Amino acid sequence: MMLYLLEKEMKQFTRNAFLSRFVFVFPLVMTLVFPMAANFEIKNIGLAIVDNDRSEYSRRLSQKALSSGYFTSAGLAQSYEDALTHVERGLADIVLEIPPEFERDLERDGYARVMVSANTVNGTRGGLGSMYISGIIGEFNADILRESGKIDFIDMTGKPSGPAGIRFSTLFRYNPLMRYTVYMIPAIMVMLLAMVSGFLPALNIVSEKERGTIEQMNVTPVRRGTFILAKLIPYWIVGFLALTLSFVAARVAYGLSSAGGYWTVYLFASIFVLAMSGFGLVISNYAKTMAQAMFMMFFFIITFVLISGLYTPLNGMPAWARAISYASPLRYMIESLRAIFLKGSGLYELRDRFLALAGFAFFFNGWAILSYRKRS
C-alpha cells in the first residue's frame, strides 16, 4: 500500500509541469540571485571632503577613502558649512574635514587630528559610514607608519592612543573577508527548504480536497500514519534535491563550501524538512481552499523568517521577540547551518538545536496525523 501511495504522489508531482520545473529553478534563483540582490552591506555612501591642508598626505587620505568602494564623492567642499549643505541636500552622509597643517603635524608631532561628521537621520547608514571612514583612517595611519617609522597615529580627537611601539592586528575568524553573501547563503538555503517542504505538501492536499480525490482516500482502509508518510516522503526527496542544487550553485558562483561535514548538513536538513513538511500538512488539514492554504503558509513562514535571525541578529531583538523566536524551527536550522558551513561545527556541538528540531518534527507530524480525519 505504501509503494502504491508513493507511486501516486510521484506521478502527481511529475505530471505538474510547473512544479517539476519549479524544483530546479527555484533553488538556483534563491542561491545565485538573492544573495547579490539582497546584500545588506551599505555602500555608495555620499562623502564630502573638506581639505583645508591640500598637501600630499591629505590628498592620499582623500583618495584612499574614495577608492575603498564604500563611498561615492559628493565633491570637495570649500568649508565645513559648504559640506553641510551637501548633507542637507541629500548628497552626502559623511563629512571628512582635514585641518590646515595636517601634514606638518604628522611629520612634526607624530599625530594629527581630523573630524568626521555623520548624518544619522538613517542611523544605520550614518553609523556604518563613520565606522568605515574610521577604519580607512586607521589603514592610512598604518601606511604612513610603515613609511616613516616615527609617526604614531591619526585619530579624530587629536590625542595619542598609546606609545608608538605598540602594534595590534585583528583576526577575522570564519569569514575573513567579511563577505555578507557568505553569511547569508546558509540562511537562504534554510528559507529555500522551508518554502519547498512546507508549501508543497500543504498545497498538494488542499488541491486534492478541491478535486474531490481525498474523499476517495478517506473511504479506503489506508491508515492515517501511512497516508501522512506517503505525503511526506516525496517532498523530503524534493527538499534534498533543492538543497543539493543550492550547494552546487554556491560552490560555483561564490566559492562557498561547507567547513563541516556534508553528512551533518544532510542530517539536520532531513529533520528540518520532516518538521516543515509536517507543518505544511497541519495547515492543509485546516485549510479548505488553495487560497486559505497559501495565506496561512505565507503568514507563518514570514513570521518564522522575521524572528529567526535571518535578517536581524537575535541579540538585537527585544526580549519578547527573542522569547517568541524559540517557537520558530527556522531559528535552530539557520544557527545550525551557519555554524556547520562557516565554523565547521559538528553534531555534538549542535546537539541542543538538533533535539529542538526533532521536537518540532515530532510535534507537527503528530498533530498532522491526529487532525487528518477530523478536518479532511
pLDDT in tens, 348-375: 989 999 999 999 999 998 888 788 754 4
Decide if 168 is inside a domain: no
Shared domain check, 95 and 119: yes
Which pLDDT belongs to residue 162?
39
In this structure, are 108 and 196 located in the same domain? no
Domain count across the chain: 2
In a domain, 170, yes or no: no
Residue 165 lies inside a defined structural domain of this protein: no
Answer positive or negative: Cα dihedral of 285, 289, 295, 301. positive
Grid cell in block for residue 368: 498532522
Residues 145 and 243 in one domain: no
In a shared domain, residues 84 and 135 = yes
Write out pLDDT tens, residues 56-82. 989 999 999 999 888 989 888 888 888
Residues 98 and 79 in one domain: yes
In the sheet with 71-77, reading across from the earlier edge strand, the strands are 71-77, 45-51, 94-98, 115-118
Could you say which DSSP state residue 159 is in?
Answer: S
Pair (219, 141) in one structural domain: no
pLDDT for the residue numbered 20: 61
pLDDT of residue 35: 63
**Within a domain: residue 355?**
yes
The confidence score (pLDDT) of residue 353 equals 93
CA 282 to chain centre: 28
Overall pTM surpassing 0.75 (yes/no): no
Helix axes 180-211, 17-32, angle to 10 degrees: 160
Provide the 10 A C-beta neighbour count for residue 18.
7
For the cut 60, the answer to whether the pLDDT of residue 168 exceeds it is no
* Shared-domain flag, residues 203 and 113: no
Pairwise pLDDT comparison (73 vs 211), residue with the higher score: 73
Which ranges of the chain would DSSP assign to H, the alpha helix? 2-15, 17-32, 34-37, 56-66, 80-88, 102-109, 123-148, 180-211, 213-218, 224-254, 262-286, 290-306, 319-325, 329-338, 351-375
52 and 184, same domain (yes or no): no
The chain-wide mean pLDDT, for the chain, equals 78
Enclosing domain of residue 205: 2-38+178-375
220 and 77 belong to one structural domain: no
Name the residue with cell 511529475.
14
Q: Is there a single domain that holds both residue 10 and residue 29?
A: yes
Mean pLDDT of 278-304: 86
Domain membership of residue 15 (yes or no) is yes
Measured CA to CA, the distance from residue 76 to residue 62 in angstroms comes to 10
Question: Do 24 and 69 have their domain in common?
Answer: no
| 82 and 17 both lie in a single domain | no
Report the distance separating Cα 98 and Cα 347, nearest Å: 53
Stretch 18-31: mean pLDDT, rounded? 66
The domain that contains 123 carries what CATH number?
3.40.1710.10
Q: What percent of the chain has pLDDT over 90?
A: 15
**Which of 155, 187, 220 is at the close of a domain?**
155
pLDDT of residue 166: 29
